[in-house]
Amino acid sequence: MSKVWFAQVQRSVLGAIAFSTLATLPNPSAAQSLPPTKDVIGQNVTSVSQLSDVRPTDWAFTALQSLVERYGCIAGYPDRTFRGKQATSRYEFAAGLNACLDKINEIISAGLADKVSKTDLATLQKLQEEFAAELATLRGRVDTLEAKTTKLEAQQFSTTTKLDGQVIVSASASGSGSDSLLNPIGNASGLSGKANTTVISRVRLNLNTSFTGEDLLLTRLEAGNGGTNLSNSLNDAGGVFRGFTGFKNSSVFDYSEAGTTFTLGRLRYDFPIGKDIRASLGAVMSLNDHLDHNSFANDESVDFSSRLFINNPLILPVNDGAGGAIAWNIGGSAFTLRAGYVAATANQATNDGTINRGLFGDPYQGTVELEFAPKNSENDSPLALRLQYTRASVNNLDYNTGGLNLEWAFNKAIAVFGRYGFGNISNRGSAIANALPTYINAGVTSDAISPQTWSAGFAFPDLFKEGAMGAIAIGQPFIESKVGNATQTNVELFYRFPISSNISITPDLQFIFNPNNNSSNSTITVGTLRTVFTF
């Protein structure tokens, strides 16, 4: 076939075929690559006037109009453009030709062969001969894809459930100038001030089930290597002071201490109530999935490792248990009201003589949060302010605490964030030193303490690479003059570098001054290299 004839055929019949059929086709070769998938997913058109960049004065207008009206085998790009001047490869041309052949075969099969002109049939016959190899390749690939699709549909895990997962593996080295850490009144706490290099891991498997497309049943299985690490703050005193520095325990890493056998990490059902309200009920849930969010300090897999910077310890003293949560975006405005409740021992019906258990027993927590997050022209919320209040009970100590959570992205390259917590923890009329004898300074006879906590930092999204982030933060987990002779201060900085869309590496460095609110304790330094895999 001569180049002149080929050019004439392009100009008269198929010179500007769109590439809508190419999105599902694999690259035939590196030398003849197709446009990106997001650019080639086209939309069928019923009139040439629907293509914004095709005008009646264009030389291809009549040919396009004929193909659309007679055969309906023309499509445009998602933005309703045709891009007729864009160059095409032989494989792309063959894909467009194949689309027209299929349409004409449908017309003939319907007994409407007289609607197809002999001139067009002759042209198509010549084009079929010229592009026989390309058409055979494309049809073979389509058949293979159809076979694979059929096999996947037959063998898929579930029509309603999708599986995703996350693996965290970190190597850490830490130490301080003293061999043991002291508790706030100066007695050895039993915690080593020096630690060997460790490797800590955690695996999470999430089964995400949706029955309506708008709901979610989350079932999470979780396991690790049982790793532990150097404590960075007040000991948990048998669970009494869990809320002072974080949840579960007061370790340096939020992802440490997952056991070697799989446990049920989440079991909850999220569902909409009307247009602006979403609710969640769960037998195993965590309130920090619903409250105290922060775009730059909220997730141990992508930002900070220590619990002080992930959530406000005074706002979420219990956090885990059975309960529910609700979020109401008030009239689609910038205001969202959230509330949540959990009981950590909801599965225990008995009273052990000192603490009342069950769904409404100790330890429990109820929290409300009002968020103000106006959207900009790009539908983002660069500024968010959250006001919080918590009422809780932990080992017969009553918590009444308030909090503030702020984030502000000045631009796409820098943001500031922070949290502040304050309130009252009381022992119901008895001296609080009776409940916490190893933590309250001698001579304190009051029945309550009034702790504060704060953290603040800067984040740098897309630092040096799209998807990366660097950040630095400083904070004090527990400020109370009646506890210890100093105030513990934490500093943490990290840089998350994405290797791919599924793998990231994060060097992390922490400094802990006056550990356990005791000035006699030497500064702790912790260096970590964290690798995260998602699938």
Q: Is the pLDDT of residue 25 over 60?
A: no
- In angstroms, the CA 525 to CA 232 distance is 10
Strand pairing category for 335-343 and 364-372: antiparallel
What pLDDT is attached to residue 75? Answer: 65
What pLDDT is attached to residue 517? Answer: 83
| pLDDT band, residue 408 (cuts 50/70/90) | very high
Q: Is the pLDDT of residue 251 over 60?
A: no
What pLDDT is attached to residue 533? Answer: 96
Name the 3-class secondary structure at 329.
strand
User: Residue 448, Cβ neighbours under 10 Å: how many?
Assistant: 17
What pLDDT is attached to residue 164? Answer: 92
- Cβ neighbours for 504, distance < 8 A, ≥ 6 positions apart: 302, 496, 497, 498, 531, 532
For residues 220 and 255, the answer to whether their CB atoms sit within 8 Å is: no
Longest dimension (CA), the chain: 106
What pLDDT is attached to residue 7? Answer: 39
Look at the domain 240-246+269-527 and name its fold. Answer: Porin (2.40.160)
What pLDDT is attached to residue 158? Answer: 76
| pLDDT band, residue 353 (cuts 50/70/90) | low
Q: Is the pLDDT of residue 88 over 90?
A: no
Domain residues of the chain, as ranges? Answer: 3-155, 240-246+269-527
Q: Is the pLDDT of residue 40 over 70?
A: no
Name the 3-class secondary structure at 238.
helix
- pLDDT tens-digit map of 283-328: 999 999 999 999 999 998 999 988 889 999 899 999 999 999 999 9
| pLDDT band, residue 253 (cuts 50/70/90) | low
**Does 230 or 498 have the greater pLDDT score?**
498
Q: Which of the residue ranges 75-89, 394-408, 514-528 has the most confident prediction, judged by mean pLDDT?
A: 394-408
- In angstroms, the CA 18 to CA 15 distance is 9
| pLDDT band, residue 441 (cuts 50/70/90) | confident
Residue 447, judged by CB atoms within 10 A of its CB (0-12, 13-18, 19+), counts as middle
Q: Which of the residue ranges 5-19, 84-98, 233-247, 437-451 has the most confident prediction, judged by mean pLDDT?
A: 437-451
Q: What is the DSSP letter of 214?
A: S
